[in-house]
Structure 1
Amino acid sequence: MELTKEMIANSFINGVDCSQIIMGEWADRLGMSKEDAIKVSSAFGGGLGVGETCGAIIGGMLVLGMKYGNTGENQQEQKDILNAKRAEFLEKFKKAHSHCSCRELLGLDFSKPEDVPKIFESGILFEACPRFVRTALDILDEMEN
């Protein structure tokens, strides 16, 4: 079942962040438990909590790392594969949304105490962020095929 905007927004309301939604959706395909996938991606909400890289992008990068990443030294060929996948993902995300940082995407900054209530009160978290998550999931699905 495809996640809807409402399902994603409901996850936010219940304390699950962008990167966690993406990793949770990919857990089975990555050979991980959903619980471990959500836990390992739990520190990235709100653009690392400071408005930096969007959590949907970080979730995408975690998926790509698990799927294509190298596992140690002297694996340049594998690193090259991952780097190409990362570039492809970022290009597609930027084409869809122009930016990669949470602060630029939202126009508000999680690192500024005065912006945090605005993020929740304005509804932008529940309008814009589900689109970013859906875009990241769609890109990952497209890249897998």
Structure 2
Amino acid sequence: MLLDAVKKYYNKDYDLNCAEAILYAANETYKLNLDKNALKTMAAFGGGMAIEETCGALTGALAVLGILFVKDKAHESDRIKELAKEFFKRFQSKLSTDNCKKLKELYRNDEERCSYIVFNAAEILNEMILEENCIN
């Protein structure tokens, strides 16, 4: 399950940021076959794109949705727009905001970092993927 893989990657042993942990976990769970270079694409998205804006766990999840639901180009897939909007809606409903700074004020602590946020993003992502029946 995705949450188990996120718990594996979002810890001190791997030392990945929130966005990286979501993508690494999804790559393993859903067998996305992403190589190391593809996984590195999320490096700059952690910490709210390094400026405490949009949450990295959220952007990591959107990247996974793009991989799963876009054949070649985003503008050729109306479904990805709907899924992205739905992910934002669920994320904001559960955590009250998508802003990294505000989320950290609400949920982050030194010991667990942003685990609560990252784990919730993973649960929402997994729910949506299961609802879409795109993973066996």
- TM-score of the superposition, structure 1-length normalised? 0.73
Q: Distance in 1 between matches of 2:74 and 2:25?
A: 30
* 2:122 matched residue in structure 1: 137
Distance 1:38 1:4, change over 3 A: closer
Q: How many residues are matched?
A: 126
Q: Distance in 1 between matches of 2:5 and 2:75?
A: 39
Structure 1: segments with no counterpart, 5+ residues? 109-122
Q: Distance in 2 between matches of 1:133 and 1:106?
A: 11
Q: Which runs of 4+ in 1 moved over 6 A?
A: none
- TM-score of the superposition, structure 2-length normalised? 0.77
Residue deviations 1:29-78 (CA, integer Å, cap 9, x gap):
25223634431111111111111111100101111111113524872xx1
* 1:39 matched residue in structure 2: 40
> 1:47 is paired with a residue of what secondary structure?
helix
RMSD: 2.7
Q: Distance in 1 between matches of 2:87 and 2:8?
A: 24
Q: Distance in 1 between matches of 2:100 and 2:59?
A: 11
Structure 2: segments with no counterpart, 5+ residues? 131-136
Q: Distance in 2 between matches of 1:73 and 1:26?
A: 20
**Equivalent residue runs for 1:63-102 within 5 Å:** 63-69=64-70, 71-72=72-73, 75=76, 78=77, 80-102=78-100
**Equivalent residue runs for 1:4-83 within 5 Å:** 8-10=10-12, 14-28=14-28, 29=30, 31-33=32-34, 35-69=36-70, 71-72=72-73, 75=76, 78=77, 80-83=78-81
Which entry has the higher C-alpha Rg, 1 or 2?
1
